[in-house]
């Protein structure tokens, strides 16, 4: 019995060590970058690879508008909720732009209902509001195929999730930013001109569609002076 208990203890210790090393929530991803944020951001963008790619492909847009990108590739709403405090609240931004749900639909951490995805998003919104941070709640962008989960058909599922997000946002007077309607093609994915895989936007997509939309949202929500208006980076082919 003692050997069994000892063996179980060793297994639990090893499992805990592995979990800490793996950093499931991604606390370490922006640890150094967070220390370097010394000026209050106008907005923090919380999201997954779509947000991460945005900050990577167009850092000028973020710098010009005093924005901070905190997207981590592959993350679900549960993981974003876990790191919301160090990656968003700690910076005391004027606003947070939340775009989440793609990887929940992709079942990256297993099957999850639309209602529970929404609940995770609501929790992030309420954390922001409790800290006097304004919120822009984004639709999940369109995707017709997940390159890493080709067995799934995400297009209709994303549409249904977006209906829930919009309904909650409208009911609770939270600004809802609808990327999906401006981006979706006839099969509910991103068209080839804007993406190589129907899921991840390219620079043209960010600059011609997404940046003008989010700047419009920021100007409405934060109401800056005419001189301080948020502006997209002009797209030049």
pLDDT tens per residue, range 63-95: 999 999 999 999 999 999 999 999 999 999 999
202: helix, coil or strand? coil
DSSP 8-state secondary structure symbol assigned to residue 90: G
Can you tell me the distance from the alpha carbon of 217 to that of 235, in angstroms, rounded to the nearest whole number? 19
Instruction: Name residue 108's beta-bridge partners.
Output: 110
pLDDT tens digits, one per residue of 115-162: 999 999 999 999 999 999 999 999 999 999 999 999 999 999 999 999
188: helix, coil or strand? coil
Rounded to 5 degrees, φ, ψ at 98 are -105, 120
Structural domains of the chain, count: 1
9 against 65, higher pLDDT: 65
Q: Is residue 99 part of a domain?
A: yes
pLDDT at position 5: 34
pLDDT at position 55: 98
Q: How confident is the model at residue 183 (pLDDT cuts 50, 70, 90)?
A: very high
Q: Is residue 158 part of a domain?
A: yes
Say which CATH number the domain at 130 has: 3.40.50.1110
Q: Is residue 168 part of a domain?
A: yes
Rounded mean pLDDT of 107-118? 98
Q: Is residue 21 part of a domain?
A: no
Q: Is residue 23 part of a domain?
A: no
Q: How confident is the model at residue 21 (pLDDT cuts 50, 70, 90)?
A: low
Q: Is residue 24 part of a domain?
A: no
Identify whether the C-beta of residue 211 lies closer than 8 Å to the C-beta of residue 62: no
Q: How confident is the model at residue 11 (pLDDT cuts 50, 70, 90)?
A: very low
Can you tell me the distance from the alpha carbon of 170 to that of 198, in angstroms, rounded to the nearest whole number? 28
Q: Is residue 13 part of a domain?
A: no
Write the DSSP string, 108-156: BTB---HHHHHHHHHHHHHHHHHTT-EEEEEPPPP-S-BTTBTT--HHH
Range of the domain at 203: 37-228
pLDDT at position 178: 98
């Amino acid at each position: 019995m003692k050997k069994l208990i000892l063996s179980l203890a060793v297994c639990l210790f090893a499992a805990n060590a592995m979990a800490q090393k793996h950093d499931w929530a991604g606390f370490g991803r922006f640890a150094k970058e967070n220390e370097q944020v010394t000026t209050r951001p106008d907005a923090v963008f919380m999201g997954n690879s779509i947000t991460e790619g945005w900050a990577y492909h167009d850092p000028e847009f973020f710098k010009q508008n005093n924005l901070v990108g905190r997207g981590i590739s592959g993350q679900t709403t549960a993981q974003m909720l876990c790191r919301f405090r160090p990656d968003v609240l700690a910076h005391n931004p004027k606003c947070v732009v939340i775009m989440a749900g793609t990887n929940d639909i992709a079942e990256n951490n297993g099957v999850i209902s639309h209602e529970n995805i929404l609940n995770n998003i609501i929790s992030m919104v309420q954390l922001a509001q409790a800290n006097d941070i304004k919120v822009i709640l984004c639709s999940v962008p369109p995707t017709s195929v997940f390159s890493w989960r080709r067995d799934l058909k995400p297009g209709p599922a994303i549409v249904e999730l977006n209906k829930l997000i919009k309904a909650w946002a409208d009911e609770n007077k939270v600004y809802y930013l609808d990327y999906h309607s401006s981006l979706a093609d006839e099969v509910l994915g991103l068209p080839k001109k804007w993406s190589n895989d129907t899921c991840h936007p390219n620079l043209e997509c960010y600059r011609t569609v997404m940046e003008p939309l989010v700047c419009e949202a920021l100007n409405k929500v934060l109401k800056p002076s005419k001189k301080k208006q948020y502006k997209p980076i002009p797209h030049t082919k």
